[in-house]
Chains A and B, each alone.
Chain A
Amino acid sequence: MAAVRMKPCAVSLLLLNLFYGFASPLYFHIGETEKKCFIEEIPDETMIIGNYRTQLYDRQKEEYLPATQGLGMFVEVKDPDDKVILSRQYGSEGRFTFTSHTPGEHQICLHSNSSKFALFAGGMLRVHLDIQVGEHANNYAEIAAKDKLTELQLRVRQLVEQVDQVQKEQNYQRYREERFRQTSESTNQRVLWWSIVQTLILVAIGIWQMRHLKSFFEAKKLDLWRLKHAGGIFIVAAPPCGGPFHPNRSLPPPLDDAQWLLSYVWMF
């Protein structure tokens, strides 16, 4: 009985809701080649419905025209792994739907793709956009008509959908928290390893520098000794090995650290 009574009601309700569903959403302005992207962070198996309507600015009338032919919008939706899940061109007024299969940040990008560039002529395009996520995307009038629900059943159905959404969001929260924890632990490990490695590198470089320079200065000392004996130059920094120079000595004795440091100072 109730079902029969509801039928004519339902059709009018459906029509009303369809009209009502696009009453007056937020709008913004977009340039000709500009691409506007919106991020939606959603759990998996969540439906998103986007409605948009575009208006072009008419310079002569100095107002926005209600509808323009030949004006299209290109809609592109990417999932959290940067894979394109929806890429379509719609007219000046359109509606796009998609369901997420992986939880995370989905990106919805819009840019105009007008077939008549003359229309634009440096003007701005007004885009009315409305994005409904999850439970808000449900059209209850349609559900009531399709499943023939009484009003109470419809209310309960709405509650069930809401609770479903809360549960999905909580699962997603757990997944995100794990990712966060992994990132933090990774940072902690990297900082720890890096401190150890840095200390070792510093010590190693220090030792290498000292040894390399020591052998370098010893070689320098040898050169000066040879120079002195070849050109008869008196060098103040004589190797204090306990005796005067002997021409037939082949090599000066190796210096210890204090001695070569002293000779280095004297050389300046």
Chain B
Amino acid sequence: MMLYSQLISLFLHVAFVWGTELTFELSDNEKQCFYEELEKGVKFDIDYQVIAGGNYDVDCFATDPHNNQLYNERRRQYDSFSNITALKGVYQVCFSNEFSTFTNKIVYLDFRHGGEQPLLPDMTQGTALTQLESSCVAIHEVLKVAAESQTWNRLREAQDRMRAEHLLERVTYWSIGETVLLFVIGLGQVMMLKSFFGEKKGPVAAST
């Protein structure tokens, strides 16, 4: 019995927050919305970042079930937004690339909501944790922070790497293009000059 109650008490604080991370491509002149049904009084966080495309910016806005704007930003590269829901219903987060005429954007979205969900959903409130359990919880929280910071680094690195690859591509195409252009212009100038003299020969012979 003791053991059983101990086991029950151990179920406390063994938890993770509910969240979804999505990386998607937003075409030019496109708007993409994500919806989530939330209860009242729930804390939710939205992180987004533009990883690739054009000027690395996107419009983002979030609305509550009654279509009130909770967050509205234009042409941001990354941002973080947090709120506690005032009513129950469907909350919406939209990204818009409508200001762009021909560049696609790749956007990363992290939508976290909810309180701490238990690791094993057989939770009862009450008894305190032993020292061992507290250490476990502390390590778990620190590792969560480490994982989040790794995600952040990964996204920044992906953005820089894509920029560098794009630059390499542009340098290559420009080099090839300019070689061709140089030869064309070099030959073209000579041809044109020769053609000028071809016409002038007649009038010069006829005058005086």
A: residues with CB less than 8 A from B are: 1-2, 5-6, 9, 12-13, 16-17, 20, 23-29, 36-41, 129-131, 133, 135-136, 140-141, 144, 150-152, 154-156, 158-159, 162-163, 165-166, 169-170, 172-173, 176-177, 179-180, 183-184, 186-187, 190-191, 194, 197-198, 201-202, 205, 208-209, 212-213, 216, 220, 223-224, 227, 231, 233-234, 267-268
Contacting residues, chain B, for A38 (C-beta < 8 A)? 22-24
A183 touches B168 (CB 8 A): yes
Partner among A9, A179, A223 whose Cβ is within 8 Å of the Cβ of B122: A9
Contact of A190 among B160, B172, B201 (CB under 8 A): B172
B 117-137 to A, binary, CB cutoff 8 A, 1 in contact else 0: 101111000000000110011
Contact of B136 with A233 in the complex, beta carbons under 8 Å: no
A143 to B: closest C-beta gap in Å: 10
A-chain residues with CB within 8 Å of residue B137 when the two chains form the complex: 155
Question: B68 an interface residue at 8 Å Cβ cutoff?
Answer: no
A1 lies within 8 A of B182 (CB): no
Q: Which of B24-59 contact A (CB under 8 A)?
A: 24-25, 32-38
Indicate whether A176 sits within 8 Å of B161 (C-beta atoms), given known contacts A26-B20, A150-B7, A187-B171: yes
Partner of B175, one of A5, A130, A151, A190: A190
A144 touches B120 (CB 8 A): yes
Chain A residues with Cβ below 8 Å from B194 are: 216
Give the complex CA separation of A217 and B52 in angstroms: 56
**A62 to nearest B CB, angstroms?**
15
In the bound complex, CA of A156 to CA of B111 (Å): 27
B154:A169 contact, CB within 8 angstroms: yes
Q: Return chain A residues, CB-CB under 8 Å to B183.
A: 201, 205
Bound: A223/B198 CA distance, A: 11
Q: Which of B10, B20, B34, B165 contacts A151 (CB 8 A)?
A: B10
**A190 CA to B167 CA, complexed, in Å:** 11
Point out the residues of chain A lying under 8 angstroms from B150, CB to CB: 166, 169-170, 173
**Count of inter-chain pairs, beta carbons less than 8 A:** 178
Q: Specify which chain A residues have a CB less than 8 angstroms from the CB of B153 in the assembled complex.
A: 173
If A176-B157, A213-B190, A220-B197 touch, whether A183 touches B164 (CB-CB below 8 Å) is yes
Q: How far is the CB of B26 from chain A (nearest CB, A)?
A: 11
Given contacts A39-B106, A187-B167, A159 and B120 within 8 Å (CB-CB): no
Among the listed A187, A205, A208, which residue makes an inter-chain contact with B164, where contact means beta carbons less than 8 Å apart? Answer: A187
Compute how far the CA of A12 lies from the CA of B136 in the bound complex, rounded to whole angstroms: 25
CA distance A179 to B157 in the complex (A): 11
CB-CB under 8 A for A162 and B143, given A1-B3, A41-B23: yes
Least distance between A108 CB and chain B CB atoms (Å): 10
Asked whether A209 lies within 8 Å of B186 as measured between CB atoms, the reply is: yes
B121 lies within 8 A of A209 (CB): no
Tell me the complex Cα distance, A137–B20, Å. 12
* Minimum Cβ distance to chain A for residue B160 (Å): 7
Q: Determine if A151 and B14 form an interchain contact, defined as CB atoms under 8 angstroms apart.
A: yes
Q: How far is the CB of A8 from chain B (nearest CB, A)?
A: 11
Closest 9 CB pairs of A and B: A151-B10, A205-B186, A39-B23, A155-B136, A162-B143, A194-B175, A187-B168, A180-B161, A183-B164
With A159-B143, A194-B171 in contact, is A37–B7 under 8 Å at CB?
no
Query: In the complex the two chains form, is B179's CB within 8 Å of A223's CB?
Result: no
Q: A28-B35, A159-B139, A268-B200 are in contact. Are A152 and B154 (CB under 8 A)?
A: no
How near does chain A come to B185, taking the closest CB pair, in angstroms?
A: 8
**Chain B residue nearest to A230 in the complex (CB):** B205
B25, A37: Cβ atoms under 8 Å?
yes
In the complex formed, the residue of A with least CB distance to B157 is A176
Chain B's nearest CB lies how many Å from the CB of A166?
Answer: 6
